[in-house]
Structure 1
Amino acid sequence: MMVFILVMSLHGLQSMITELLPEFSVGGLGVSIGPFWFVAMSVVLLFRSFWACLAIPVGGIVFGEILIGDFSALGAVEGLVVITTSWFFAMSLVTDPSDVKQIAAVGFLAKAMEETAAWFIDVGKFYVGVEELEAISWLPETVWATEGMGALIQIVVAGIVFGAVPTLFLYPRLRGKIEPLLGMRSAGGRDGPMFTRSSLKRLVAWVGLLPVAFAVETLSETSGGLITFTPEFVETYGQTFLFVPIAAAALIAFGLVAYRQRKVEGGV
């Protein structure tokens, strides 16, 4: 539970901070600078648990949707499924947690899997007619290229520039320092190949759950979000309202660490 709350709040914090940053254009495609994925890569791969993986999309939902007043229950399912399963598979490949290059590569793979899955889902929504995507009218197959280019740019920007590369520097500085604050030991390595039977099961789960994520996302586009919360605080109060979820996430993250540190130092 401590790990879940920490990852959720840290990811929510950096996601909201990057929301304040402007987008830029690459070849006519809008690209957001964030999230700064090296935060999730470094912290999640310290603990390597299912709950740490689940905390990434939950952090985005709580701080990036609910607290800013733009939440759709069905619309949140895609992220929950795709992000969680992508990270859960990728972390199974770690054999040597002290090998920073392996950690960075695994984090990049998780982000690449996430963007690839989102690419397929977005194209699928075009083919079933629930969303209009950019494509040449007489050649709808170009949607694969336009959406694929957007996914590729995000993989490079979020997966490498703001993901794997900073992780090379941040992860070794956190390992062995964050875990004791939560009263935990550093996750150990294992012998054998990176890809194991457990990895195969997780990869099969990733593939098998993609149609589920697609079906629910399509349903959300056609029949609403089932449960929605849309007071749209940012539209009402402006960008300064983003400091509310930023403050909430920071308070939870640093408050949790301070609380656990006192417990550990007190021998509890």
Structure 2
Amino acid sequence: MDRSSWFSFEQGDMTIFIFVMALSGLQYAITEIIPGFDVGPLEIGVGDFIFIPIVLVLLFRTFWAALAVPVGEIVFEDILLGDFNGLGVMEDLLLVSTAFFFAALLLRDPENRVQLAVVVLIAEGLNEFLAMFVDVGKVYVGVEELEAVPGLPESVLVLEGVDFAVQMAITGILFGVVPALYLYPKLHGKIEPLLGMEPYRGTPGASMLEGFSWKAATMALIAFPLAFAFAAAGEAGFGFNIVWEAEFLETYGQPFILVPVAVAAAVALVVWQLAKRRSA
């Protein structure tokens, strides 16, 4: 598949979408198992294994692969765990897909490890930065309560800023850049042909600025207010919101987390086997 546009939906894109969705959902489900811990008002833990979805998006380089990342969370975490908020999930759907899409455009030289590291940090940083201001906005418009720290009555900016720094260190670097620098070169040029796509060769020595797209930048600018509007509407309990709260974890306990893990792994394995058989 020789792609002419990031947005064109060509033969094989559905396979890639489902494959990325399943593997992204798998990592979201697994991170649910890993416990976090509180340091004062902050909750510190593994946000996501971001290296899995960002490497997949960089390999397949389609907007649909970027969109599949938050869809994986919605399907294999929110729905299968019985905690779905229709308006609430729109925040991640808009911000994650836009951040990954925008960042992936900037990778122009797949052999440049510095460029790869910066792109991974941009993907995580842009998502966290926009999500931070969505959370701040919800407090200031009054749809979410301020969790103030004693002595810091206006601490929402401080808390969100510290949380941003923590997530960038843990999710962005430890579970983002470090494994991505190993995984992307190992998979590049090997996994794409099995799913019917030509590997991206890029341009040796090309600058990241050559990948900057005003269309993608405009998408990010539009995604932010839309994400805030959906998130605020969800917190305010608007009547047109679709909410499903089966709360399977509370009903069946932590072992139930193995259900979405098993389902996501099975879907990814089936898609992989079918793709390999088709390419043989």
Check the 8 A contact 1:220/1:226 in 2, yes or no: yes
> Which digits, 9 at most, give the CA deviation of each residue in 1:67-101, with x for residues without a partner?
11110110110001111111111111111122233
Matches within 5 A, 1:31-110: 31-110=44-123
Q: Which runs of 5+ in 1 are unaligned?
A: none
Partner of 1:254: 269
Q: Which amino acid aligns with 1:127?
A: Y
Partner of 2:43: 30
User: Which one is further off, 237-246 or 130-139?
Assistant: 130-139
Q: Secondary structure at the match of 1:61?
A: helix
**How many correspondences in the alignment?**
265
Q: Which amino acid aligns with 2:138?
A: K
Matches within 5 A, 1:91-240: 91-136=104-149, 140-190=153-203, 193-196=207-210, 199-224=213-238, 226-240=241-255
| Post-superposition offset of 1:49 | 1.0
Check the 8 A contact 1:100/1:171 in 2, yes or no: no
Q: Which amino acid aligns with 1:81?
A: L
User: Which one is further off, 187-196 or 207-216?
Assistant: 187-196
Check the 8 A contact 2:17/2:64 in 1, yes or no: yes
User: Which one is further off, 5-14 or 219-228?
Assistant: 219-228
| Post-superposition offset of 1:21 | 1.1
| Post-superposition offset of 1:183 | 2.1
| Post-superposition offset of 1:133 | 2.4
2:34 paired residue among 17, 21, 29: 21
Check the 8 A contact 1:45/1:103 in 2, yes or no: no
Check the 8 A contact 1:6/1:253 in 2, yes or no: yes
Change (3 A) 1:30 1:136: closer
Q: Secondary structure at the match of 1:30?
A: strand
Q: Which amino acid aligns with 2:174?
A: V
Check the 8 A contact 2:41/2:149 in 1, yes or no: no
> Which digits, 9 at most, give the CA deviation of each residue in 1:151-205, with x for residues without a partner?
2111111000110111111111111221122122212314754224852331222
Q: Secondary structure at the match of 2:43?
A: strand
| Post-superposition offset of 1:37 | 0.9
Give the TM-score taking structure 2 as reference length: 0.89
In the alignment, the residues of structure 1 paired with residue 40 and residue 251 of structure 2 have an alpha-carbon distance, to the nearest angstrom, of 32
Q: Secondary structure at the match of 1:95?
A: coil
In the alignment, the residues of structure 2 paired with residue 78 and residue 15 of structure 1 have an alpha-carbon distance, to the nearest angstrom, of 16
Q: Which runs of 5+ in 2 are unaligned?
A: 1-13
In the alignment, the residues of structure 2 paired with residue 52 and residue 144 of structure 1 have an alpha-carbon distance, to the nearest angstrom, of 33
Partner of 2:20: 7
Q: Which amino acid aligns with 2:75?
A: V
Alignment RMSD (CA, Å)? 1.9
Q: Which amino acid aligns with 1:12?
A: G
In the alignment, the residues of structure 2 paired with residue 136 and residue 26 of structure 1 have an alpha-carbon distance, to the nearest angstrom, of 12
In the alignment, the residues of structure 2 paired with residue 128 and residue 235 of structure 1 have an alpha-carbon distance, to the nearest angstrom, of 31
User: Which one is further off, 35-44 or 66-75?
Assistant: 35-44
